[in-house]
Structure formats: structure tokens, C-alpha cells
A and B are shown apart, each in its own frame.
Chain A
């Protein structure tokens, strides 16, 4: 099992350009998440999905859109990139266990720079 994979690993954009980050998981998890990690800020939740076709906003959703057309994939889109979106983006997935903590499994990250 590859776990959670992210594409691409690195990307440089110019202000105003658009791009899509792809997250894929092969663990059949119901839930998927997008976070951004900035120095001194920890990880902050952007959007999450609780199943195919169902998404919800997290803590910092502005400037991002998401889609989950297939259970194994979760896409994060930037329609018009801004320098403030320079960050490392992590995708995660989890399953419902009911009786214990639902561990989130993280991908390796995408480092995005917006010039």
C-alpha cells in the first residue's frame, strides 16, 4: 500500500495563476483533509471531505476550492494564486473507528511558492 500520495511535490506559481493539487489514498478511507503548514503556525485545516461529493470548510478556506469525485481522490484548487498562499500543503485521510481515536494519515506534502 502506498498510503497517502500527493502530486506534485514542488511547484512555483506566479501571482494570479491557477493550479490543482492531487491527493490519492489507497486505504479506502471515508474522510480526507487538506492542511497548510506555515512556520510558527502549525497545521491549519483548509477543507475536508466526509465522502464522495461531500466537502466542508475548515479553518482557512478562503482562496481554495476542493472536489472529491472519487473516494480515493481529493483535489485542492487555487483559482488565482496569491503570495500569501505560499506554504507546504498536506493531505490526510482517516476512517471511522467508532470507539477510538480516528488517526489521520498524512501524505508527504507539496511545497508551493507563489511569486
Chain B
């Protein structure tokens, strides 16, 4: 049962172009929607996160767009660079009874930026 669906599985974008990765969720109890970036041989690292009461969040070249009614959110990478080549995971977070956030991850998108 995949609570967070992510697409596409892989994406090739030319340098300078816009990379777009989409995610959809089902559980309306999720309270944060983070994106993690993972380079080969490394652990994931937080890129950017958004709350469901915000429609857009921008940090540098990275933007999350959030559509609460459609239960969808997406990551946009502007002016994509070869250094952005990595696997990107969307996730949804829910507060547990213990006070910590539990993450449910999407299946990942392997992004390749070509010159």
C-alpha cells in the first residue's frame, strides 16, 4: 500500500531547463511534506519542506508547489545544473503519539541533467 505516489521514475533534463517531479498522497493527516535529495553512495538529505497550509515554498532554485484539494505536490528545479543529478524522494510526515514525525516516502525519481 503506497500512501505516497511519485512520478516519474526517471527524468532527463537539459542543463538550464526546469525539472519537475510530482507526488500525490492519500492521508489527509499528514502535516509536513519534505523532499529529500540522495547522491549515489550517500544517505538522503533534506532539500526543502512545506506545510499543507502553504501553497508554495521557494528556496533558491528549488520550489515546492502544493495543492491541498487535489492532494498533490511537486518539486520544481529551475535552471537545472549537472550537480543536481541525484535521486529525489518526496515524503509525507505524520506526528506520532510519541511526538516525533514519521515519514512515508515516495518511490524516488532519478534525475539526470545533461549538458
Q: Which residues in A have some Cβ–Cβ distance to B below 8 Å? A: 4, 30-31, 40-45, 48, 50, 54, 56, 58-59, 90, 92, 94, 96, 101-104, 106-109
List the 5 shortest-distance A-B pairs measured between CB atoms, nearest first.
Answer: A106-B43, A42-B105, A50-B98, A31-B100, A101-B49
B107 → chain A, closest Cβ, in Å? 5
Q: Which residues in B have some Cβ–Cβ distance to A below 8 Å? A: 4, 6, 9, 32, 34, 36, 41-46, 49, 51, 89, 93, 96, 98-108
The answer to whether B98 and A45 have CB atoms under 8 Å apart is: no
The answer to whether B107 and A40 have CB atoms under 8 Å apart is: yes
**Residue in B4, B43, B51, B99 whose CB lies within 8 Å of A108:** B43
Q: A42-B106, A42-B108 are in contact. Are A104 and B46 (CB under 8 A)?
A: yes
The answer to whether A103 and B89 have CB atoms under 8 Å apart is: no
The answer to whether B93 and A101 have CB atoms under 8 Å apart is: yes
- Which residue of chain A lies nearest to B33 when distances are taken between CB atoms in the complex? A101
Assembly CA distance A92 to B98 (angstroms): 17
The answer to whether B100 and A96 have CB atoms under 8 Å apart is: yes
Jot down 24 A-B pairs with beta carbons below 8 A, ordered by A: A30-B100, A31-B100, A40-B107, A41-B107, A42-B6, A42-B89, A42-B105, A43-B105, A45-B103, A48-B100, A50-B99, A50-B100, A94-B100, A96-B99, A96-B100, A102-B93, A102-B101, A103-B46, A103-B49, A106-B36, A106-B45, A107-B43, A108-B43, A109-B43
| B93 partner residues in chain A, CB cutoff 8 A | 101-102
A81 → chain B, closest Cβ, in Å? 22
Assembly CA distance A39 to B71 (angstroms): 25
Assembly CA distance A30 to B96 (angstroms): 14
Q: A43-B44, A108-B42, A109-B43 are in contact. Are A102 and B100 (CB under 8 A)?
A: yes
| B49 partner residues in chain A, CB cutoff 8 A | 101, 103
| A108 partner residues in chain B, CB cutoff 8 A | 41-43
Assembly CA distance A40 to B107 (angstroms): 6
Assembly CA distance A72 to B14 (angstroms): 43
| B32 partner residues in chain A, CB cutoff 8 A | 101
The answer to whether B44 and A90 have CB atoms under 8 Å apart is: yes
The answer to whether B100 and A101 have CB atoms under 8 Å apart is: no
